[in-house]
Amino acid sequence: MKKNIYTPPVKFLTIASGLFLFLTSCQDVENNLDSNTKEAKIETETSKIIDFNGLTVKHRFRTPVEDLEIELTDTGLKQMYSKIKNPHFQLSKTSGNTDLLELPDTDLIIEATKLVTDIFPYNFEREPMFIKSEEQKFLDTVSIEIREYILANNLIDLSKDSLRLVEHEKNVEAFHIKQEKKKWEMIRDDFEGLSDEQIETNIDLIDEYYKKNMNYEILLTAEEKKQELTTKIASKTQKTTNLGYESGSPSHMACVLDLSGTLANTLSVRDAGEDARDLAAQEYSNLPGANDRRDAFRHLMWNVLLAKYYITMSTARSTRTDFAKRVADAYEECGDNDLDSEAMDLHNNTIGRGIYWDHTSIKRNWLGIPYGVSEAPTSTYAADAKNRVENQSCFIVKEYDEVFFPERYLVSEANNKDEPYIKSKIENIDNSKVVYFIGPIAPSSEYLITSEYDYSACTSADLPYSTTTYTTITLPWLGSGGGTITIPQTTYAPCVNRMVLKCYQL
């Protein structure tokens, strides 16, 4: 049965309808205005909030969200750069990677990297280096006889160097604490919905997010400031295209990008090369640095610093040492070193990565979850490297010399060794021993007393077996009154053999 429906008078209906339409219209306008305002507000507040592989993050970088899907590879970087140069770029299905643009040169990438480092939670600022006192530098350049004479007669006080080193290491520790605090504050702000434990658990994913954004910011900055940076590069007396390491090859760039997919690591490689050279120059200023102890030390520290400077948040030490190996191997594979020089470098590079490993540990939270790598001050790695060169090394004799030990044991230049021979010798040396084949041999730390010498090979024709001369030297730290001293030096005939000697092979 149908219900009776009340029908209002037409006049009333008309007035009511008009009033309703008026009120509804006003309300609609208000709702539309309110809706637009809310939408605008929401857009302002949430346009930078994105989901990155399950993690909510405040996306404060200029990277298009879709570009965060690009892989951390050389090809991915070229794809990203091609899109920056041409926003309408699309990878051709038929031509594959042939449509991709080549990346900017290394100098431009390095200069662009310097401009964006402050907005990322990575430690680009290098810790201060320990500078030896003038007294210690002096001792490093003189012969073992002079050094032992100075020490035995208390003509030098090195205690202040020890105190300076302790103070330096405290400063380095404070430096790293400050850097670590800055890193965590930045991560907590960007991933504000995550607890510290969640950040630590997802540190590799967070690392990936920052690296992808850093690549984009570097490439965009390189493009935006290309003219300015190119002018700056041109004004430099020495370019960095070799990534800070002598006679660099194109393989360096490919190696850095293929392994890490991170443009900023070109800066890391350059810095590692330059700092290793500076440290070697400080330790061995009296040696030229080609296949000698200075060269060996430089390669040890180069590999230490390649691992130490590698841009990553990974909790695996192997990630860092693998990177160092790839870069160091690429240099040798694509360089033009002699066979024996290459063998020496590869051997010492391996020991250098071991030094990094020995003084590095994994940081864990109270739950046992790894969240970082604890690294030693550079001075600690350098001290270990110096000790290995001086006390755990082996000198392979390549060329005859009538004066120096043990080169004189080759008897004549006719017995000089060729590259394949030295290479084979190096390859059979224990992996724990540093090697070099240009002297002088590492000095013994023992006092030079006659009981350490063997005269059994000498005849009357070799007399005198030894001669003593006197050398006058100036010790600047003693002042004008007592700075000049005379030191006896003994030179032995070639037939005299040392009883206590460093490792050497003929």
Say whether pLDDT at 34 is over 60.
no
438: Cα within 13 Å, side-chain hemisphere: 14
Q: Is residue 441 part of a domain?
A: no
pLDDT at 174: 86
Decide: 392 and 434 in contact? Cβ < 8 Å. yes
> Could you tell me the pLDDT band of residue 305, with boundaries at 50, 70 and 90?
very high
Say whether pLDDT at 483 is over 80.
no
Residue 314 tokens read as 């990974």
For the ranges 18-22, 238-242, 430-434, 436-440, the lowest mean pLDDT is seen at 18-22
For the ranges 103-107, 344-348, 421-425, 440-444, the lowest mean pLDDT is seen at 440-444
Q: Is residue 439 part of a domain?
A: no
**Angle between helices 265-283 and 378-391 in degrees, nearest 10:** 50
Residues 6+ apart with CB under 8 A from 431: 347, 350, 351
Residue 121 tokens read as 């939670």
For the ranges 13-17, 197-201, 457-461, 501-505, the lowest mean pLDDT is seen at 13-17
The model scores a pTM over 0.95: no
Decide: 455 and 431 in contact? Cβ < 8 Å. no
Q: Average pLDDT for residues 257-266, to the nearest whole number?
A: 75
pLDDT at 88: 78
Say whether pLDDT at 16 is over 50.
no
Q: Is residue 438 part of a domain?
A: no
Range(s) of the domain holding residue 349: 65-393+415-428
Q: Is residue 112 part of a domain?
A: yes
Q: Is residue 289 part of a domain?
A: yes
Instruction: Using alpha carbons only, give the angle 470, 288, 446 rounded to the nearest 5 degrees.
Output: 45
Residue with the larger pLDDT of the pair 336 and 246: 336
Question: Cα–Cα distances in Å, from 478 out to 143, 164, 177, 482?
Answer: 19, 20, 39, 6
Of 191-205, 298-312, 332-346, where does the model show the most confidence? 298-312
Question: Cα–Cα distances in Å, from 357 out to 173, 204, 350, 374, 468?
Answer: 19, 20, 11, 11, 46
Residue 166 tokens read as 């302790």
The number of distinct structural domains making up the chain is 1
Report DSSP state, residue 225.
Answer: T
Say whether pLDDT at 481 is over 80.
no
Decide: 343 and 427 in contact? Cβ < 8 Å. yes
First to last CA, the chain: 120
Q: How far apart are CA 450 and CA 460, in angstroms?
A: 18
> Could you tell me the pLDDT band of residue 418, with boundaries at 50, 70 and 90?
very high
Residue with the larger pLDDT of the pair 452 and 238: 452
pLDDT at 154: 78
pLDDT at 12: 34
Q: Are strands 434-436 and 393-396 parallel, antiparallel or unpaired?
A: parallel
Q: How far apart are CA 279 and CA 140, in angstroms?
A: 13
DSSP secondary structure string for all residues of 43-88: HHHHTTEEEETTEEEE--SSS-GGGGGS-SSHHHHHHHHHHHH-TT
Residues 189-243: pLDDT tens digits? 999 989 988 998 899 999 999 999 999 999 999 999 999 999 998 887 554 444 4
Say whether pLDDT at 60 is over 90.
yes
Q: Is residue 227 part of a domain?
A: yes
Q: How far apart are CA 91 and CA 78, in angstroms?
A: 11
Q: How far apart are CA 193 and CA 58, in angstroms?
A: 10
Q: Is residue 170 part of a domain?
A: yes
Q: How far apart are CA 181 and CA 353, in angstroms?
A: 27
Residue with the larger pLDDT of the pair 363 and 314: 314
Q: How far apart are CA 16 and CA 352, in angstroms?
A: 91
Q: How far apart are CA 213 and CA 192, in angstroms?
A: 18
Chain centroid to Cα 458, Å, comes to 52
Phi, psi of 362 (to 5 degrees): -90, 130
pLDDT at 398: 92
Q: What is the mean pLDDT of the chain?
A: 80
Q: Average pLDDT for residues 405-428, to the nearest whole number?
A: 88
> Could you tell me the pLDDT band of residue 20, with boundaries at 50, 70 and 90?
very low
